[in-house]
Structure 1
């Protein structure tokens, strides 16, 4: 059985009993054995952590077999102590560091993860992620030089598996990260898919251009992997669905964001949106550009042949999303300003809103939980109709479920989504 150690550092502002309740609940739900310890100081924290495991093999090799019997993992709430916080950046193995407050700009050591800004409930996310990493090994592969430019590659025990790229949501805010897609990574790998779970720079810290550049660059990075890239599906959740559809729309417009990709690879100097559009990076409102190659309903994006795009509870109408204050103003905060008034929509909204980028020329599966935010239900229904009217091949799947049920492998709505992916993993040849 997996042994989970939770260490609460000195000065953590949270009720001790509540932390114990959260930990006990997560231990039981995950079927693991766990212990919670309150540490006195940095030396005590360090003495509690298990010794780092041996370095992982090169990224090109297959992940090690998943054998969790007797394995252990550690989750640490460091608190405000400078001495304890100095441990976060050290190479102490696969520790999951959890700050209940928002703590931007923290880089964890080799093999570690830093989660932050999710309140006391972040402890639950930390335990889930720690257990997931033990049960479902993956390879973290950098696609750029910056701390957030990486993806996790999961490989099934199969030859030439179809590929799914996952793009997490979180209303484009840095407190949400790739760990929330862990359950889908495990489920899809078990169904025979290779999974590329993408992390990227979020606009609240790095600007909108950096975010769109990273998604394009992360998708293109698949072209360097030894995978069957004739069958690639891009799946996005919530804000990640907007990013997924945007990336394919840019390719459909012949845009592949060369200027943005170059700045991301060079280390993140942002290119103003107007300059990127002038360089052909995005489509201006109402403009028609030469399409990227399309064969049998697939679109070539950065050398990767995308045969299907899946929206899971996507934010698909950014103009109305901002006007309706969806996500407490998340759209305008991400794009750097409010949506324009009137009927004339200009960049960045004209380039970013999936509803305004149709047709894509790629098959689409639009999945929506009926118990989600009613504005998101509205966006998904209207987007699906508009895509069909524009000539795209679209399947609309609406079932009981909320915003997170669509990324929960135990729910009927995800089971139906997965069946659709297994039944149609994308074109070949």
Structure 2
């Protein structure tokens, strides 16, 4: 503890030197220029914070102590010695506890030895002597326990004095966070938790028939908005010097992860929709197996199925960028908020919930209805399966479901990763 006190004292001394240097610089008038005046202005503004930091370190060093002052004498001398710093008082309490432990151990040994002899002793006077020794040993142990409690009291009192001294100096100085800084920090923490929870839930409810997509859309939007608010609060704290670059980076990454996770779910839906659209067109063709359009659809379906994941990510940069950015652009477009309003109408409609309940019952219950993908994608896969049976010459269709699950799984992983990124929800893992 004294070593820590020495380090804190050295830091306080170094800060004191820097404060003196800044004060000296701010008093120089020979540097008479705009740059000089601006520098002096900033130096004067920094002096107060450096002085507050110096005072914090100096107070902590004094409270902890930079060397252990030993108290000589016996138990009474140590108990009644005047309080000093935490390191010295802690050492004093430890010496009392160590001595009490030795006395208790020695007394236990004496009691055990007396008990062994007492078992074989027949002489009454000798028995009485051994019993007195046992009683004396018990008294020593009892006294040792009281000494240990006294040591604890000294330790706790020293810790309280040190804490009180440090609390007093940091409670109202130039480095203390103001009301707005505390408020912004609280908002960032709360919105981060809300964003993470809603983001994960948005991926877990999509399978529900009728209302699943609407509910996932609402939760996803809430997650993005909350994450954006948290990022803005963290950015303000960073500019005010009350958050570091790591905090800002984590806030930005959390916002991006929620949006990207949602985008991968959209990719899965777009992929399944594209396959279903081409299959439907092939099935309704007037000349099955013939014509350039039919052959082109068959060729693209085969590629989509066999190289689906690569194909989705090999879209033109414009298409891929538009899809990946869509969760974010929806926050600033009229159509995006119109979609949010439509989703809300669906979710808060009693008939929608009734329809969801009936659909789940028709599917054989919740256990058979739950799926990794959302309801619309599941419906597309369900429609694709019988259609694909009509085109056995397109082996690539066998990989459609796997590709959809991979894309959806990536969305789960990216969004769920935000649980670990957020220090408030990380313990849940």
TM-score of the two chains, using structure 2 as the length reference = 0.20
Instruction: Decide which structure has greater strand share.
Output: 1
Higher helix share: 2
- TM-score (norm. length: structure 1): 0.20
